[in-house]
Amino acid sequence: MLHLTPLPPDQFDLLIGRTKTNRKVMKQRGQLQPLIVASPQQRADGLWREQIFIAADAVILTAIDMLVEAGAPRAAIDQVMSEIQLEIVSRLNALDNGAHIFLAFAHDGARWVVVSAATGVETMKEVAAHFATGAGTEPPKIFFYCVPLHEAVATVRARAAEHDIELPERIWPTPEELDAGADLLAAAIAPRTSPVIQQWQALREREASPVVCVQ
């Protein structure tokens, strides 16, 4: 089973712990934003209604549920949905390799940040650096929420086992698979598109590009 193989909606509902009606309400409210969406051409042809859900979507939604359970306001999470998706997607390969990764969402009422790291303490340090103020300036009150992404993956897999749902061995392509062809993901999801995956690919390419110093 391939990483991006679509899951039947009824199976996806079991993986995220929702009913069909709950899922539709979440979709209408923008609380469920699938990674793979219809392209402009599909929408023009009237084919946009067909929803595509993959295992990574279930992991993302489960992690968001965990943030809400930790006390993060639903409205605040909705504002940073794409950032949360992008951060989790960037960590899926490490999670597939068994790494422990913690996802943190923090805000001070005006600014926000989404980070991930190997430990909760490291996420706290990154959040503190993001909101750091100048010497002698009183630091802002920060609302901090942190959850283990590896437990979100484990939860999805446990639900799949409980309901006899087949999931891919790895939720995301390996770096080697991605390097085999720059258009691998685009070909896999065509004719649909994925803004989040495109953002992640762009970030990955920038990180891999050598830094050129001009003197």
pLDDT tens digits, 119-141:
999 999 999 998 887 655 666 78
Give CA separation, 181 vs 99, 114, 188, in Å. 25, 30, 11
pLDDT confidence tier of residue 149, bands split at 50, 70 and 90: very high
Per-residue model confidence (pLDDT) at position 212: 44
Q: What is the identity of the amino acid at 157? A: R
- Hey, how many other C-beta atoms are within 10 angstroms of the C-beta on 26? 15
The span from the CA of 171 to the CA of 177, in Å, is 13
Rg of the Cα atoms in the chain: 18
**105 beta partners:** 114, 145
Per-residue model confidence (pLDDT) at position 201: 75
Structure tokens at 81: 């949905």
Distance, CA of 12 to chain centre: 16
Element (H, E) at 206: helix 195-208
Structure confidence by residue, pLDDT tens digits, 23-73: 999 988 989 999 888 776 655 565 555 678 999 999 999 999 999 999 999
Per-residue model confidence (pLDDT) at position 80: 93
Per-residue model confidence (pLDDT) at position 190: 67
